[in-house]
Amino acid sequence: MKAVGARLPRYDGVGHVTGQTQFVDDVRVREMLWAKALRSPHHHAAITRMDTSKAEAMPGVEAVITHADVPLLEYGHLSALGIPADEPLLAKDEVRYKGQPIALVAAEDADTARAGVEAIEIDYEERPTLFDVRKAFDDDAPTVHRWGNWYPHFEGEMDRRQIRKGNIEEAFEAADTIVSGVYRPAAIEHAPLETQVSMVVPEPDGRLTVYSCTQALYFSLGVMAAHLQVPLNRLKVVGGTVGGGFGGKVDTASETVTALAAMKANRPVKWRWTREEEFLASSTRAPWHMEIIDAVTSDGWILGRKMLTLHDSGAYARFSPYGLTKHSFHHTGAYTIPNLHFDGYVVFTNRVPTTAMRGFGVTSVSFATETHMSRIADVLGLDPFEVRLKNANRINDTSPNMITYPDPSTVDVVLSIAEATDHSLDDAYMSMSRAQRSGDMLPEHLAAQIGEGHEHASLHALVHGVDNDSEGN
Amino acid sequence: MSIDVLIPESVDAAAEAYGDGRDVTVVGGGTIVVQLMTQGWLRPTRALMLSKAGLSYVRKSGSAVTVGAMTPVTDVADLFAPLGPCAANVGDNEIRAQATVGGNLCAPTPPEHPSGDLQGPLLALDASVRSTGAGGESTETVEEFLTHRDARLVLDLSFEEPVAGAFAALDRPHAHHPTALAVSAVKAGDGSIRLAATGAGPTAIRLSSAEAAADDPEAAGQAALADADLQDDALASAWYRERMLPLLVQRVLNEIKEV
Amino acid sequence: MNITLNGVSRQISSPPLTPLLRVLRNELNVVSAKAGCEAGGCGACTVLVDGRPQRSCLTAVGSLNGAAVTTLEGLGTSENLSAVQQAFVHHYAAQCGFCTPGMVVAATAYLDAGGSDDKEAIQEALGGHVCRCTGYLKIVNAIAAAATQSEFDLTITAEEPNVVVKTGGR
Ligand SMILES: Cc1cc2nc3c(=O)[nH]c(=O)nc-3n(C[C@H](O)[C@H](O)[C@H](O)COP(=O)(O)OP(=O)(O)OC[C@H]3O[C@@H](n4cnc5c(N)ncnc54)[C@H](O)[C@@H]3O)c2cc1C
Ligand code: FES
Ligand code: FES
């Protein structure tokens, strides 16, 4: 443990300040082609005709890639978790969001590639669009996805992520007051300074060297191998230097199509998105719609929670079913509520697909639950710190998905915020600890939920198989 | 796609190279045109770069000021109000040093929001624009120039230092956030008042009705609404601008009254 | 045409309207200046032109005949870091590193022009530079420190470090 407490310079600090750190765009190879994409100008449309022959015939254009060039057009990022594929690598007969890639042109320079893109003849037939998750369930809502307007493939082919715990009816009958709130955080673009970029170099031995800005190198490897239908050992993915990711570089955004162009042209190809493309077509943090209805007592205990979440997935599923699952596990925030009724839907809209960002699925629910805690205190005329401390997770309390908390830190965090903000509290609260509930802090409604040891729900184990490191900075 | 690029080294050579201006793209500081070319949105066949044309100068003689078209915005940032404070409020440090006064006057109006912040103060100062193009050199007011600015090469701008001037703009949350709305006021030697707004139309506009009511700042603020064509755009809604314009007009009028 | 790049005279063959950023990266293979937006909005491409910071993505190279251009490579090497570079390492002001070339170049120009450790002045001077990682505080702190100090301790202070500091490229 020599590093703990020590002042360690960043291993890459000197490289960064001298300009020697090599980002993907900085890698130099000979004979490299530049790629530009044809992207959908419409939010939702059928592609009725596409002709790339003029682009292919242009001097300087070395490869034009469309859906027809992709060995396996659809592959799900989370196939390993049983989430089926729904998104074509390049659009075939339908575009479902503005900016969706349709074709890639690789040429001697960027201007020629752009001219090639403009030479592609394509006709669209616009279709009705859906942007508001609340309208997705209406009878007259346009259908925006081939599975319908919400993801239907949770375990057991359920169309929602559902949590039922305790007895919600009894909780609401016993309540003194009902406090409800609706929370709608908006989409956020990660806006890394380095836009999506990859360069693929065909090697003489038939392999491909793939330089990628990915923050999830093994995802990229697996996703590419699947689309390209090649064994993993044909791909050497070089990553590790990411010019900012924040979750937005988890999706395998550019390297697979770049690889197809490099294979077709048999030359190195680089595809770097412009800043405009980054804002238009790179995935964002999802907008969420969350409705919370709590059964509370006048002295500030939360007996039960009903919650409805609509997770705006954008046009395709990508990681959203997983994000919603994490969200559902955290829908009580850092607090213990014994009776729960949670329904969450992954809703499809004609927006850019959404993805991880700094606490995938959890940041949204933290915002909602923390705001709601203060709202409860406000409605009841109680101190917001005290309401939090009462309901705070304690050792051996259980989470919505029946995990027993071995060592939760809510009490300590709330107390230190009280201290930092000079908020005075009664001694009974000041001396509170994370120890297992007892006495006044163990009212009858919380007795039954106390768990023993560490029971991992099978769903949790399943999801946590990919939890680590896949969405870090 | 080879482009004919001319880099004249004198004002006369620049005027000659510009000719009648047909199919010529002028490159001033380049802060707008270069990125338009990079994105492929502008594809010139002939370009005229003014960097060596000798058009960067601020000349003062008594109360008269003449500013060359290629003068960086930074170099007018310490002039009197409303021009100085407005220039100091353009972009960031580095953009101000590269962006030119002429380029600002000629800044194209992008679809997402108005641009060309200096047009407002220049309009309020009743600056005259010396330009060249078809028919040779001519001088006209900024107000006239703004109606046909595509077909002229700007050489310089002249104006008088006013008795009093004021500039008020909505705060920008970041150096790269364009100004959503700003008002410039100028009091001339004879006591007359000129008012102009940026962000209230595709180019800066004169607030004539407000000028007529200038004695009563509150009434003038309301009157300004009749002069403006307020729109929703990426920066602000028409609703918001409608509420802010009268306040900014009041603010500048009160400021020049105190002088 | 010619420019002096980091003290060395270089011939340029790109057409005069080519942005300096593309000339540096694609013709001269000097890649420290980054293409973060190619629209003047991020500052990652900033270089010094005759000692003053300028957006290389907005600068048509034809306007630079005879000018002196300095990129991050010209400010210090891994064996001989400038005070600003040392301060950036010491204060963890470079996280992903993508904004860093523009930040260090602009900070150097700010201090060379007599800039002080006043944090508001630093923020104003670098107001056009975007960093998505650090939250800016560390960058401002580093520049303020560099304003008053010429040497920074970059050694590892744990007794037997298990981390190797990499200097130089990969
Ligand atoms: C990050 C950023 C922030 C910005 N912030 C602001 C801001 O806050 N306020 C603001 O007003 N603008 C802003 N701008 C826009 C721009 O920088 C300014 O409007 C600037 O003054 C334009 O001048 P330029 O010399 O760089 O123009 P150029 O790009 O050289 O030219 C602009 C236009 O004017 C024409 N032109 C240039 N010179 C002449 C001439 N002498 N005669 C005839 N036509 C000419 C060009 O052909 C072109 O159409 C910003 C730009 C960027 C990139
Ligand atoms: S790349 Fe030049 S400012 Fe962003
Ligand atoms: S360190 Fe990543 S953008 Fe600044």
Task: Give me C98's structure tokens.
Answer: 């993508």
Q: Cα–Cα distance between B100 and A215 in angstroms, integer?
A: 41
Distances in Å between the Cα of B136 and the Cα atoms of A90, B10, B190 are 55, 16, 33
State which H helix or E strand residue A451 sits in.
Answer: none
CB B241, CB B230: distance < 8 Å: yes
**Percent of residues in chain A assigned helix, strand, coil, to nearest 5:** 30, 25, 45
Domain locations along chain B = 4-257
CB A302, CB A294: distance < 8 Å: yes
Distances in Å between the Cα of A245 and the Cα atoms of A94, A197, A215 are 29, 12, 7
Q: Chains touching chain A at 3 or more Cβ pairs under 8 angstroms? A: B, C
Torsion region of B61: left, alpha or beta (phi above 0 gives left; psi -120 to 50 gives alpha): beta
Distance from CA of A65 to the nearest CA of B (A): 21
The pLDDT of residue A2 is: 66
CB A239, CB A220: distance < 8 Å: yes
Length of chain B, please? 259
Give B168-214 pLDDT, tens digit per residue: 999 988 888 888 999 999 999 899 999 999 999 888 999 999 999 99
Residue A288: pLDDT above 70?
yes
Q: Cα–Cα distance between A388 and A372 in angstroms, integer?
A: 11
**The CATH number of B4-257 is which of 3.30.465.10, 3.40.50.261, 3.40.50.720, 3.40.47.10?**
3.30.465.10
Give C21-45 pLDDT, tens digit per residue: 999 999 999 999 999 999 999 999 9
Distance from CA of A274 to the nearest CA of B (A): 8
Give A382-394 pLDDT, tens digit per residue: 999 999 999 999 9
Of C41, C46, C62, nearest to B7 by CB-CB distance is C62
The pLDDT of residue A472 is: 33
Nearest ligand by distance to the CA of C135: 3
Band of pLDDT at residue C150, cut at 50, 70 and 90: confident
Domain locations along chain C = 2-74, 83-147
Q: Cα–Cα distance between A388 and A235 in angstroms, integer?
A: 51
CB B30, CB B42: distance < 8 Å: no
| Three-state DSSP class for residue A290 | strand
Whether omega before A41 lies within 30 degrees of 0, making that bond cis, reads no
Distances in Å between the Cα of B70 and the Cα atoms of A365, B67, B224 are 53, 8, 33
Give C41-72 pLDDT, tens digit per residue: 999 999 999 999 999 999 999 999 999 999 99
Q: How many CB atoms lie within 10 A of CB A419?
A: 12
Task: Give me C115's structure tokens.
Answer: 């800039």
Q: Whose CA is nearest to atom 3 of ligand 3?
A: C131
- CA A238 to chain centroid, in Å, comes to 23
Over range A430-448, report the average pLDDT.
94
CB A193, CB C131: distance < 8 Å: yes
- Which residues in chain C are contacts of B47 at CB distance < 8 A? 16-17
Averaged pLDDT in 10-residue chunks for chain B of 259 residues: 90 96 96 94 95 97 97 97 97 96 91 84 98 95 90 96 97 89 95 94 93 96 95 92 98 91
Domain locations along chain A = 31-127+191-281, 155-188+284-463
Q: How far is the CA of C130 from the centre of ligand 3 (A)?
A: 8
Report the relative pairing of strands B128-132 and B46-49 from DSSP bridges: unpaired
Q: Please give the angle made by the CA atoms of A86, A87 and A90, to the nearest 5 degrees.
A: 150
CB C95, CB A37: distance < 8 Å: no
Residue C170: pLDDT above 50?
no
CB B107, CB B79: distance < 8 Å: no
The pLDDT of residue C158 is: 52
**Residue A276 at interface with chain B, using a CB cutoff of 8 Å:** yes
Over range C59-87, report the average pLDDT.
96
Over range A358-363, report the average pLDDT.
93
Give A221-255 pLDDT, tens digit per residue: 999 999 999 999 999 999 989 999 999 999 999 99
- B94 Cβ contact partners less than 8 Å away, ≥ 6 residues apart: C43, C46, C53, C54, C55, C106, C128
Query: Whose CA is closest to C60, among C28, C94, C18, C91?
Result: C18
Over range A325-353, report the average pLDDT.
98
Structure letter (DSSP) for residue C140? H
Residue A467: pLDDT above 50?
no
CATH domain A155-188+284-463 topology: Aldehyde Oxidoreductase; domain 4 (3.30.365)
Picking from A34, A111, A112, A278 by the largest number of B CB atoms within 10 A of its own CB, the best residue to mutate is: A111
Beta strands in A82-184 (DSSP E): 94-95, 101-107, 121-126, 161-165, 177-183
Band of pLDDT at residue A80, cut at 50, 70 and 90: confident
CATH code at C83-147 = 1.10.150.120
| Three-state DSSP class for residue B65 | strand
Distance from CA of B1 to the nearest CA of A (A): 10
Q: Chains touching chain B at 3 or more Cβ pairs under 8 angstroms? A: A, C
Band of pLDDT at residue A470, cut at 50, 70 and 90: very low
Nearest ligand by distance to the CA of C97: 3
The pLDDT of residue C156 is: 63
**Residue C158 at interface with chain A, using a CB cutoff of 8 Å:** yes
Q: Cα–Cα distance between A293 and B41 in angstroms, integer?
A: 51
Band of pLDDT at residue A107, cut at 50, 70 and 90: very high
State which H helix or E strand residue B222 sits in.
Answer: helix B217-227
Over range A435-445, report the average pLDDT.
94
**Residue A111 at interface with chain B, using a CB cutoff of 8 Å:** yes
Mutation test of ligand 2: which of C57, C72, C126, C132 has the most ligand atoms closer than 8 Å to its C-beta? C57
Chain-wide mean pLDDT for chain A?
A: 93
- C170 Cβ contact partners less than 8 Å away, ≥ 6 residues apart: A15, A20, A22
Q: Cα–Cα distance between C153 and B183 in angstroms, integer?
A: 51
CB B89, CB B170: distance < 8 Å: no
How many residue pairs bridge chain A and chain C with CB atoms within 8 Å of each other?
Answer: 148
Query: Whose CA is closest to B249, among A396, B236, B223, B232?
Result: B223
The pLDDT of residue A228 is: 98
CB A291, CB A308: distance < 8 Å: yes
Of B34, B51, B97, nearest to C19 by CB-CB distance is B34
HSE-up (13 A, CA, CB side) for residue A74:
11
Interface confidence (ipTM) of the complex: 0.93
Classify residue A435 as exposed, middle or buried by CB count within 10 Å of its CB (0-12, 13-18, 19+). Answer: exposed
- A244 Cβ contact partners less than 8 Å away, ≥ 6 residues apart: A190, A191, A192, A193, A194, A473, C96, C98, C132, C133
Q: Cα–Cα distance between A49 and A51 in angstroms, integer?
A: 7
Q: Whose CA is nearest to atom 18 of ligand 1?
A: B104
Q: Is CATH 3.10.20.30 the right assignment for the domain spanning C2-74?
A: yes
Q: Cα–Cα distance between B167 and B138 in angstroms, integer?
A: 29
Q: Cα–Cα distance between A262 and B141 in angstroms, integer?
A: 57
Classify residue A123 as exposed, middle or buried by CB count within 10 Å of its CB (0-12, 13-18, 19+). Answer: exposed
- Which residues in chain B are contacts of A111 at CB distance < 8 A? 1, 40
**Percent of residues in chain C assigned helix, strand, coil, to nearest 5:** 35, 15, 50
CATH domain A31-127+191-281 topology: Aldehyde Oxidoreductase; domain 3 (3.90.1170)
Say which amino acid occupies A119: A
